[in-house]
Amino acid sequence: MKKLFKVLSAIAAAAVILSITACSKKEQTKSSSTGVISYSQVELGKTGTEISATIKLLTHRTDMLQSSYTGVTFAKYLEEFNKLYPNIKVEIEGITDYASIALLRLQGGDWGDIMMIPAIDKKELKNYFVSFGDLKTMEKQIKFATNWEYENQVYGIPSTGNAQGVLYNKKVFKQAGITKLPKTTDEFIQALKLIKEKTNAIPLYTNYAAGWTMGAWDAYLGGSATGDADYMNNVLLHTKNPFKNYNDGTHAYAVYKVLYDAAANKLIEDDYTTTDWEGCKGMINRGEIGTMVLGSWAFTQMQGAGPNPDDIGYMSFPITINGKQYASAGPDYCFGINAKASETNKNAAMIFVKWFTEKSGFAYNEGGIPISAEDNNYPAAYAAFSENNVAFVSDNPAAAGESDLFNALNSESELNINAGGNLKVQQIIEHAANGTKSFDAIMEEWNAAWSKAQTSEGVEIKY
């Protein structure tokens, strides 16, 4: 009996201990916001040299963690950073499939100190992230300050900026006899047809199988297709049937029609279901691909993928509005600092983010738009833009009180514009290649879904 009692109590104790260890969280020190330095106050090299901390950064750039990366790796950046701040150690965790995993980590709570802010509602920002400063101050410090701004506080600093355009191979264009860069969608399809006739290259490589490369087409329906800085976050939300045919080669209809026509006329790869993202970089470098529709961040990657970096060119999306071309420019993933981190860690993180934005040269190295407000050192990718007088259009934020309306409409309609809506664009290729649905019918469906979402959210139709 005594023995049994001993055994029983041991088991009960084990059960209790196991449940406690399973449920325990690390002690969170409450941090006072008054002690945290703001972004504009940080003077690199002077502020915070006494801070000793180890901070953790979550990143989507898993390629930069490998030593095989052709550009500048994270290890090199950290080496430079530690020359200035030897006592701040930065641990970096790379996450593949970043968009959905980051949301789960955010919900879980204990994720580190800095992360790239995923697609959340703006009103949730202050619950999870530290404010870098108020809007007026931040607009003098960085570009695209309004991207993660809510109630006059800025919560996210872009790691780099992208402009939306089209990658092309200069040699393939020359071989096909294309002398001027296409400026309208019709000219573009003509150019693709020339490439198919006169060269062996695939005119337009869609990268269908990767999924996200298809959702990337959504970025073009704002500034690039309309020239209007208010379109993406304001006009689109209040437009009736935004995917209708405007009959002038502009707006979303024109953008997706390029994809549909290319697929229907067999100007894309033969078997789009088995495209190879990593392989395509080498292919465009070697002249086996004519064009690819991707943001400017891809430029340096394509250059580095083979022996012909000078053959890679970047042009604006072929839409002309009243005789002028526009390119949407916007921030890439933005840094956010954990609101629940300790005060020391928050300060260390603030210093690291400022260094990365102003001194690391990350944006330039990655072929992106430099973020620091006074930095106008644009990399080579944008050469064609300045030659052709392409104007950069940065999307204005949503109207007051409507900051999360876009998310709500995206979710309700399931179109997920610029938010992972890969399937809808993939279906354009499927219907075009198999001849199962006309382009107008597809746009009708999207219009119907958008209208239904607008009704359900009680949105006023203004345009």
Partner 1 sequence: MNIRKINLRYSKWVIILAFITLPLFLLFTFTYLPFGEMVTYSFYKMKYIGERTFVGLKNYKDLFTRDDIFNSLKLSLYYMGGSVVQLVLALLLATLLSFKTKLGNLFKGILFFPFLINGIAIGFIFKFFFTHGFVFDTVLSWVGFPVESLPYWLKTQGLNNVSLVGTSVWRYLGQNMVLFIGAIMSVDSELYEAAELDGASKVQQFFHIILPSIKTIVTLNIILSITGSLSAFEPPFVITKGANGTGTYFIIMDQVAHTSQKVGLASAMAVFLLLIIFVVTIIQKLVLKYAFRNADTGSGKGDIL
Q: How far is the CB of 121 from partner 1 (least distance, A)?
A: 6
Nearer to partner 1, 53 or 120 (CB): 120
- HSE (CB half, 13 Å, CA atoms) of 32? 2
The only residue of 32, 67, 274, 322 in contact with partner 1, by rule CB under 8 A: 274
From candidates 15, 399, 441, 461, binder to partner 1 by CB under 8 A: 15
Q: Which CA distances in Å does 294 have to 46, 69, 449?
A: 40, 20, 26
Neighbours of 445 (CB within 10 A): 14
CB of 318 to partner 1, least distance (A): 26
By C-alpha distance, which of 341, 337, 331 is closest to 353? Answer: 337
Quick check: 18 binds partner 1 (CB under 8 A)? yes
Q: What are phi and psi of 342, to 5 degrees?
A: -75, 160
- Alpha carbon distance 347, 45 (integer Å): 14
Options 4, 24, 322, 400; binder of partner 1; rule CB under 8 A: 4
The single residue among 141, 234, 250, 422 that binds partner 1, judged by CB under 8 A, is 422
Contact mark string toward partner 1, 384..413, x via CB under 8 A: -----------------------x--xx--
- As a whole number of angstroms, the distance between CA 428 and CA 432 comes to 6
Element (H, E) at 345: helix 343-358
| 338 near partner 1, rule: CB under 8 A | no
Q: Please give the radius of gyration of the chain, using alpha carbons only, rounded to the nearest integer.
A: 25
| Amino acid letter, 111 | W
Quick check: 79 binds partner 1 (CB under 8 A)? Answer: no
Instruction: Answer yes or no: are the C-beta atoms of 145 and 288 closer than 8 Å.
Output: no
Binding of residue 282 to partner 1 (CB under 8 A): no
The one-letter amino acid at 121: D
- By C-beta, is 452 or 462 nearer to partner 1? 452
Considering only the stretches 12-20, 83-91, 133-141, 373-381, report the one whose residues sit in contact with partner 1 under the rule CB under 8 A: 12-20
d(CA 306, CA 286): 7
Question: Least separation, in Å, of the C-beta of 426 and partner 1?
Answer: 5
Nearer to partner 1 by C-beta: 20 or 32? 20
* One residue of 54, 434, 438, 455 binding partner 1 per CB under 8 A: 434
414 touches partner 1 by CB under 8 A: yes
448 sits near partner 1 (criterion: CB under 8 A): no
> Binding pattern to partner 1, positions 202-241, x when CB under 8 A?
------xx-x------------------------------
Amino acid at 108: G
Name 393's Cβ contacts closer than 8 Å, sequence gap at least 6: 222, 223, 224, 227, 228, 229, 326, 327, 328, 329
The two tokens of residue 120 are 């959340």
Phi, then psi, of 113 in degrees rounded to 5: -115, -40
Q: Which one of residues 43, 79, 91, 121 is an interface residue with partner 1 (CB under 8 A)?
A: 121
Note whether 270 binds partner 1 by CB under 8 A. Answer: yes
Number of Cβ within a 10 Å radius of residue 189: 20
Whole-angstrom Cα distance, residue 447 to residue 439? 12
Kindly tell me which residue out of 124, 197, 374, 440 binds partner 1, with binding defined by CB under 8 A: 124
Write out the residues near partner 1 by the rule CB under 8 A. Answer: 1, 4, 7-8, 11-12, 14-15, 18-19, 100, 103-104, 106-107, 120-121, 123-124, 127, 208-209, 211, 270-274, 407, 410-411, 414, 416, 419-423, 426-427, 430, 433-434
